[in-house]
Structure 1
């Protein structure tokens, strides 16, 4: 389950936050989204989501707190939206029930935060109380096809529901649907199964049977059970649907991966007393050669040769703490072209050999961490031998060699392991090498020989082992 809206950063949870989160975990809650309500709480909220696993946050200013904010505060909202744990702009919106800020001021900052959400490509969490017309009007005016989000604690009627759906938004239900006097059953029945989520709005709006007590995320199951009863579904079906919807809207799968990367990438300078200077690298890879063969009068024929074992060696030289220059040699032998297939009944006699020399730069994102992540970019030269070998060619296929320039991109990581003999860095990288020019090659299409203009790239997931001796 995912509790998509819970204010568990508030003082109501200061005494037992860890225990409350453990109860949520035991109840099956895997993730909780905590919306921001004011600038003064941003730092505390960020500390909380970094302390406990499975917590994510919104960034924004609640309509109760917009009376005295400035554009400086909006700049902070925009800047902090890039933090790893931030999954939404919110809680933002309009509240005409209370009079904490004039309506025009609320509308000004609501619109401004919608614009930030579009700029940073995040969904919004909407607070709407007795302000249906203005909230929907402003969203409609700002909707350019990229604005998305959720009306949290939805309590409107079926007409308002449809208008929310029409502007591309979701709704979220909380404990109020479990109350004896609730009028929300028709709304719950009408909402499409992929357009709603569940929340507690903790510590507020506690569901039956705990109404009157402090609300907490472990109670979100009671909302799911009530929805299941109204929609004549199983509770597990509701939980699965709402979990998938939340993960999709808030991109929680991607964010979870990024948070894990960030955790492993925390700097710890004491663990790395050996500087990297000159390293000897050994490479093992699986090469997939992908060709786009343009055949005159027929079109483009995609061809791929998968699972080609490759090996290589290289030297790494550290220009600075964050920049490493790598020179490498990689050898791939494509024996698959010697095997007869239905599309290629007359294979060539000898394999294709591809020898690649690469010169690339690696930018170390966190150079002194236990696990270091880096992007790669550079150039390469391919030395290709096609159908050249000891076996005589019997099918009349050409034998040739050529040299082609290329460009290299990649992303990888390695671990730092200190030893008495220097730094050992096992790692892995996905690297792609593109030909910068095309080739003229003879190929087969439906058993017939044709000449083709061929574009090629190599996809090389590889493992590496680099030794940086003490210098």
Structure 2
């Protein structure tokens, strides 16, 4: 059983003391495909080292996280352009809009989001979307940018059934992780109305650990709890959940 974690911050400082052991626990658990999103330029070297150390398992994205869109965001976008021109990446991400922490940066977040979508189209790459308290704003940009070459993953999907269908209409897979195991997560109440072909698995490690680890540091091996939950929701075997979601990840990322 091959399991794909489509969103794991393996370079996070949270793993500095046991990164090698943490990654080995994932590999030993069958989580052998690890897709690593970018945050900003300060993490690029650490990401490249991970890829060098685990060339068969680690697949990198390049992008500017919306909470890191600051006054210098144009410099960050220049860094992204340089990296995309120089190195193989499998997505532009994670990108999007986050209005939970700071609403005053909406304008530059929207600009950074649009510019990075256009880069993804240029390189024929998927996008991986971060959306927090900003569904309307994200959908507005996607509506403006929709085209045959716009596709990707709606990371950490926490919206309604209607919003799920809207995301899918823009050729986005839904990234499902620990939230599906939460009592108040809500998405578990309608996920079985979404075809499994629209779902990919993720942890967002070190964040959003699933039950029974909620509140603790998340890691990629814990994705097994998400597989278990989706097996219950869809009433199919864990092997089918793993197989279908891994194939979905291959359809998105091309590997």
Match of 1:48 in 2: 50
Deviations 1:35-84 (A, max 9, x none): 00112211221122212231111100001111123434323212312555
Gap runs ≥5 in structure 1: 253-471
2:79 to 71, 76, 80: 76
Name 2:215's counterpart in structure 1: 212
Aligned pairs, number: 252
Q: Quick check: which one's strand share is greater?
A: 1
Q: Which has the larger radius of gyration?
A: 1
Question: RCO (CA 8 Å, sep 6+): is it higher in 1 or 2?
Answer: 2
Tell me how far apart the structure 1 counterparts of residues 134 and 190 of structure 2 sit (CA, whole Å): 18
Q: Distance in 2 between matches of 1:231 and 1:80?
A: 40
Is 2:173 aligned against 1:154?
no
What are the equivalent positions in structure 2 for 1:435-446 lying under 5 Å apart?
none
Which runs of structure 2 are paired with 1:11-410 in the superposition (5 Å)? 11-53=13-55, 54-82=57-85, 85-99=88-102, 102-252=105-255
Structure 1 residues 82 and 217: CA distance shift in structure 2, 3 A: farther
For 1:103 and 1:112, locate their aligned partners in 2 and report how far apart those are by CA, in whole Å. 14
In terms of fraction of residues, the more helix-rich structure is: 2
TM-score, scaled to structure 1: 0.52
User: Is 1:123–1:250's contact at 8 Å kept on the other side of the alignment?
Assistant: yes
Looking at structure 2, the residues matched to 83 and 171 of structure 1 have their Cα atoms a distance apart, in angstroms, of 29
* Contact preservation (8 Å) 1:65, 1:101: no
Specify the alignment match of 1:5 in structure 2: 7
RMSD: 1.4
CA distance in 2, matches of 1:185, 1:11: 31
* Structure 1 residues 101 and 149: alpha-carbon distance in aligned structure 2, compared to 1, 3 A threshold: farther
Whole-Å separation in 2 of the counterparts to 1:132 and 1:100: 14
Q: Secondary structure at the match of 1:59?
A: coil
